[in-house]
Structures are given as C-alpha cells and as structure tokens.
Amino acid sequence: MSYDDPQSIGLKANYIKNKNLRGAIIWEITGDYIETAPGSGIIAATPLVDTLKSVFCNGLPTPLLVIVQQVFLQLLLQMPSHSTGTIPRHPATRFNSKNKTIPPGQP
C-alpha cells in the first residue's frame, strides 16, 4: 500500500531536482506495480517509478534505468509470496515449508 500517487511523487521529485539533491528513495516499491490481471505476476505498469524517471530525466529514455527496472522486477517476481499473497513470484519458483527454494524437477 502506498499513500503516494503519481502527482505527489511528481511534486517530491521536482522538489529534489530544484534543490539539486542527490536522489530519491522508495521505501516499499511493491505498492507501485500494477499487474495485467490480479495475481498474474505480469507487471503492466509502474506509475510511481515512471513519474520519477520522467521528472529526473526530463522525459528522455534512460537505458540504464530501464535495465535496472527490468532486473528489479525479475527479482521481485522470484520472491516468495507473503501471507497476504500480494507479491507475485516466478511461476517456476517453488518453496518448501522452511521457505527454501525447491529445485526445478523435484517433487
């Protein structure tokens, strides 16, 4: 859950940029992604990160940021689900009762 929306993130990002500060921290990023369908694990949009990118990069594409976002999303998808089931995981990744990864092909 996030109390921020693209407008509030945009205001904060502009403040950071106008004051020549060094950047922003997103404490809990899982509130930002929007799945294509509930529980699908397929990320359709990240409006808060997209707003930061737009403000900090003047709307220009930034290959490094895109790569970092893709790596982060892949790691996020491989995380075990919390008890609320709000964090998707890679469908091929399974965990035992001790939260240890079960290798592919093992029962």
One DSSP character per residue, 29-77 reads GGGT-EESSTT---EEE-HHHHHHHHHHTTT---HHHHHHHHHHHHHHH
Q: Is residue 72 included in any domain, yes or no? A: yes
Q: Is the pLDDT of residue 98 over 80?
A: no
Q: Is residue 52 included in any domain, yes or no? A: yes
Range with top average pLDDT, 30-39, 50-59, 94-103: 50-59
Average pLDDT, the chain: 74
User: What total of structural domains would you count in the chain?
Assistant: 1
Q: Residue 83 — very low, low, confident or very high, per pLDDT cuts 50/70/90?
A: very low
DSSP state of 81: P
Q: Is residue 1 included in any domain, yes or no? A: no
Q: Is residue 18 included in any domain, yes or no? A: yes
Q: Is residue 107 included in any domain, yes or no? A: no
Q: Residue 101 — very low, low, confident or very high, per pLDDT cuts 50/70/90?
A: low
Q: Is residue 57 included in any domain, yes or no? A: yes
Q: Which domain holds residue 30?
A: 6-102
DSSP state of 101: E
Q: Is the pLDDT of residue 11 over 50?
A: yes
